[in-house]
Structures are given as C-alpha cells and as structure tokens.
Amino acid sequence: MRSAHGKISNAEKAYIAGMQRGACPTLAAPMQTGDGLLVRLRPAGGALTIAQLRELASAAARHGNGILEITARGNLQIRGLSTDTVRPLAAEIDAAGIVVPDGVTIEISPLHGIDGDAIGDAAVMEAAVRSKLGVLLNSPHLAPKLSILVDGGGRFSLSALIADIRIVAQQPGQWLLSIAGDEETATPLAIGGPEAVAAAAGDLLELLTARGRQTRPRDIAATTLYAHFPQIDSIRSIPPAPSRSSYVGVTRLRTGIAVLGVRLKFGQARAADLISFLASAESAGAREIRLAPDRGFFLIGLPESEMPAMQQAAVDHGFSVTAKEPAEQIAACAGAGACASAFYDTRALASQLIDRVPDLFDGSLKLHLSGCAKGCAHRRADLVIAGSTEGYGFVLDGLAANSPAARIAGGRIDFAIEKLARLIEDKRGAGESSADCLKRLGPIGLAEALQQE
Ligand code: SF4
C-alpha cells in the first residue's frame, strides 16, 4: 500500500498496522456502523492548525458523508466512509501534515502549554510516556478499547473523564498513576516524578499485555496490584482543584491569552459549516484549535477584540458558545439523512424538543436520541429514545440497546414528549430536578404518561 509518491506514508502505515490489530475505530482500523465505516482519530496533542482542520473537513466531505463529530472524550470522528475511501482519506490526512500517533490513544489536557494554572505539562508527560513505552503502547495484546489520559490540571482538567489508566499532575514535578475510574473513583497505584510514573505505567502495561486483549486494569486482581505497586496503601493524592464547569465561551487564562470554547451541537458539524466558520476564524487571527472533551474545541490566537464577532459567527454556523444550553443535555446520533440504519431524524427531533419543551432541560437530564438500538452517540442516559421498526422505544437510565420501558408508534414522537414534559412539570416536587422527577416516576409513570390521550 503505497502513496502517490511510491512511499508508504505514516497514515498508511497506521492503516496497515491497525487492520492487523483489529482494534477500535481508529484511522488504522475503521469500524462498521449503520452509515458505513467510521474512523476515530486524535491528532498529536489534540491540536490542529486552522488549515489542517479545514483540510480534514474537506477530506471528510469528499470521502465520507460530510459529517464530522467530536466525541465526549474530545476525539474526531469521520463517518460514512467505505473500504475504498478510507485509504485516500488516510493519505490526505498525512498530506495535510496531521500526525496521528501510533498505538493506544492518549487524551491530554486540552490547553497544555498555554494554561498558566496547569500544574504540569501534559504534552511533555505524554511525550515521556510514548518515548519510554512506545513498544508496549503498540502491543497487539492490549485491549482495543484501553483508554489512557494525562491530566496536567488547570482551568479545564480531565477530572470527570473515566479512563483505564490516569496520569495526573499532583504538584510541580509529581504525577499520580491510577486506574479504572474518574478523578474521584480511580485506584491510585504509584506516585512520583515523571520517570518513575512512566516506569510504573510500563509495569502496568506489561501486566495487561501478559493477560491479553480481554483484560482491562479493573480486571487485575488486587493481590497482583499490591505485589507490583507497593505504594498503593501509602499514597495520599491531592484532591483536584474545582474545574471550570463548562469550556464554552470566552476564557481568559492566567497567561493573558483568551481562548474561545466552541461546542458542536449534538457533537456533530457539517463539513461545509465547519470549513466556513474556520475561514472566518482564520481571518480574525485564530491560528490553532485544541480538541476539548464534551464535543467541542478551543480556538487559540483570536484577539479579544474579535471574540464577540466570532461568537456570533459560531452561532450563525450552528455551533454553541453559551454554557448550559439545552443542546448540551442531548446526545443525538447521525440519524436519518446521514445514517442508513436510522429510523428517525434525531437532530431534527432534538431541535424541536428544545423549542417546544425547554423546561425539561433544566441542566439535570441527559437525553439520548438514537436512530436505532446501536446507540452510537452515547452510553448511558437518564432517558433514551431509540428508533426501531416498531416506532420509538423509551429506556430509562440505560442504553439504547436495553429493553424499553415504553414504546410508541412512529409519527407522534414530539407530541409524546410534550406529554412527558407536562407530566414532569405537574409532578415535580419543590426543588426537584427533571432527572430526579423522571427517576421517581419510573417505568410505570413513563408508560402511563405516554399512553394518555
Ligand atoms: S445509532 Fe444512529 S448513527 Fe448509529 S447506527 Fe443507529 S442510527 Fe446510525
């Protein structure tokens, strides 16, 4: 498999290696979905120049279905590819100078290197881990879905992200290695300087590779962990400083730099909208984007005087720059029009609901609109509405694939949700949130509400 120049490019090498590994839907190993092949990729450092993201969006439009996504973990996804188009996409990504590191994806703090409140530089720590553990990180014996993050702390820490392996700055020069959880729930294994913690991460990866692809850190017996990581009992981690709740909008960093956080509505953008918005951003002075967890990115380099105009441009292109918008509470998959497996237009329904029942979205309720039972857009939500041949299935506190607590036939969905929203409004106790009220009503209350005429 050779590029037009007769050489095997980095992206093509990754493609070959990944096809052998048969792993997650990385560029190296696309995954079959209801709307063709999907690739997920994380550029080095989670950073791209404006021109690179524009070229990536153009390539997604040429080779996929023209929809780009940013996931809840801040990774890019391109949908609607085929076996014939993944390879040219990989070549174009390579030609744009976008580097996608080999091996397991490592998510790092989005504002590494520019956030004056960061405790440690996550990019430097990631580089140390990759240089020391490169072979292990490429091992075909690691679980395909293994997740690793490096969190330098600061304004937008990764404390809420769950990961198999976490490496988190504790104080300058000191990092904590922990496993299987978010900042609060993960089990600490080792603490120390960058070298020592990278070595401990190597020990952990060796335990995992020895056990094979089915094993995640949570599966390793406690006795084994105690034998390999004698610090476990004595580690006193430093509780993380409270992180800013939302990254969207303008943030002024201690370094004097202002950044604009932009969220893709429902985690998706049409390539044409993104390209047009990025052209405006570049004219206004933006030079780089940093991918952010929770389906968005930061624009870096904009002068403060340009922020109001760029916020308006973002809104005009269908993006969100205001925290706690109802759209933040809705995860919607590609849906009808973009995915052949979808039974309804998820994004159109999401927009209708925001217009018609805004009070439902009081900040508490996570709603997942899934075109079918596959549930590509989200894992667990307070309420899932999954399309099927029989209409819409309503799942409470679960996954799109779970058995629904109630079903309604197609065609009446917005009316049905209006009834549900009215019921929640009527039954909600003083100070009770939408999510708590729905939980209290349970499957029976939900089914009754949907059946009422
Ligand atoms: S969940 Fe949505 S995007 Fe995924 S296959 Fe089903 S309809 Fe398509």
132 in contact with ligand 1, CB cutoff 6 A: no
337 in contact with ligand 1, CB cutoff 6 A: no
Cα of 426 from ligand 1 centre, angstroms: 33
Task: Kindly report the protein residue whose alpha carbon is nearest to atom 4 of ligand 1.
Answer: 376
80 in contact with ligand 1, CB cutoff 6 A: no
Cα of 339 from ligand 1 centre, angstroms: 6
CB 77 within 8 A of CB 35: no
Q: Is the pLDDT of residue 17 over 60?
A: no
- Ordered alpha helix ranges (H), 317-433: 346-356, 413-427
Measured CA to CA, the distance from residue 402 to residue 329 in angstroms comes to 20
Cα of 57 from ligand 1 centre, angstroms: 21
Cα of 217 from ligand 1 centre, angstroms: 30
334 in contact with ligand 1, CB cutoff 6 A: yes
371 in contact with ligand 1, CB cutoff 6 A: yes
Residue whose CB lies within 8 A of the most ligand 1 atoms, among 40, 78, 346, 374, for a mutation test? 374
- The region that residue 408 occupies, defined by phi over 0 for left and psi between -120 and 50 for alpha, beta otherwise, is beta
Beta strands 148-151 and 163-171 are: parallel
Which of 326-330, 336-340, 373-377 has the lowest average pLDDT? 336-340
CB 124 within 8 A of CB 51: no
Q: For the segment 48-76, what is each residue's pLDDT rounded down to a tens digit? A: 999 999 999 999 999 998 889 999 899 99
339 in contact with ligand 1, CB cutoff 6 A: yes
Q: Is the pLDDT of residue 224 over 70?
A: yes
Cα of 33 from ligand 1 centre, angstroms: 7
34 in contact with ligand 1, CB cutoff 6 A: yes
Strand order, beta sheet including 187-192: 106-108, 148-151, 163-171, 174-181, 187-192
Q: For the segment 353-408, what is each residue's pLDDT rounded down to a tens digit? A: 998 889 899 989 999 999 999 888 877 899 999 999 999 999 999 999 999 999 99
35 in contact with ligand 1, CB cutoff 6 A: yes
Average pLDDT over residues 230-248: 79
Confidence class for position 241, pLDDT limits 50, 70, 90: low
Cα of 299 from ligand 1 centre, angstroms: 29
Measured CA to CA, the distance from residue 362 to residue 375 in angstroms comes to 24
Q: Is the pLDDT of residue 268 over 60?
A: yes
Residue whose CB lies within 8 A of the most ligand 1 atoms, among 370, 379, 399, for a mutation test? 370
Q: Is the pLDDT of residue 12 over 50?
A: no
Indicate the burial class of 34 (C-beta count within 10 angstroms; 0-12, 13-18, 19 or more): middle
Q: For the segment 122-171, what is each residue's pLDDT rounded down to a tens digit? A: 999 999 999 999 999 999 999 999 999 999 999 998 998 999 999 999 99
Please give the pLDDT value at position 16. Answer: 37
Q: Is the pLDDT of residue 448 over 90?
A: no
Question: Which residue type sits at 375?
Answer: G
Q: For the segment 273-293, what is each residue's pLDDT rounded down to a tens digit? A: 999 999 999 999 999 999 999
Please give the pLDDT value at position 244. Answer: 60
Does an H or E element contain 306, and which? Answer: none
- Under 8 Å CB-to-CB from 324, ≥6 apart: which residues? 246, 363
Cα of 12 from ligand 1 centre, angstroms: 27
- Domain annotation for the chain: domains and CATH numbers: 10-103+247-323 (3.90.480.10), 111-234 (3.30.413), 327-451 (3.30.413.10)
Does an H or E element contain 370, and which? Answer: strand 367-370
Residue whose CB lies within 8 A of the most ligand 1 atoms, among 341, 344, 345, 369, for a mutation test? 341
Q: For the segment 106-130, what is each residue's pLDDT rounded down to a tens digit? A: 999 999 999 999 999 999 999 999 9
Measured CA to CA, the distance from residue 303 to residue 249 in angstroms comes to 14
Cα of 245 from ligand 1 centre, angstroms: 29
Cα of 130 from ligand 1 centre, angstroms: 34
Cα of 35 from ligand 1 centre, angstroms: 7
Cα of 380 from ligand 1 centre, angstroms: 15
Confidence class for position 266, pLDDT limits 50, 70, 90: confident
Q: Which atom of ligand 1 sits closest to the CA of residue 35?
A: 8
376 in contact with ligand 1, CB cutoff 6 A: yes
Cα of 260 from ligand 1 centre, angstroms: 31
Task: Kindly report the protein residue whose alpha carbon is nearest to atom 5 of ligand 1.
Answer: 34
Average pLDDT over residues 96-102: 94
Cα of 50 from ligand 1 centre, angstroms: 29
pTM comes to 0.85
Measured CA to CA, the distance from residue 373 to residue 346 in angstroms comes to 13
Measured CA to CA, the distance from residue 260 to residue 310 in angstroms comes to 9
77 in contact with ligand 1, CB cutoff 6 A: no
Q: Which atom of ligand 1 sits closest to the CA of residue 334?
A: 3
Please give the pLDDT value at position 421. Answer: 87
The pLDDT mean for the chain works out to 89
Please give the pLDDT value at position 25. Answer: 73
Confidence class for position 240, pLDDT limits 50, 70, 90: low
Q: Which atom of ligand 1 sits closest to the CA of residue 372?
A: 6
CA angle 111, 144, 168 (to 5 degrees): 35
Please give the pLDDT value at position 452. Answer: 66
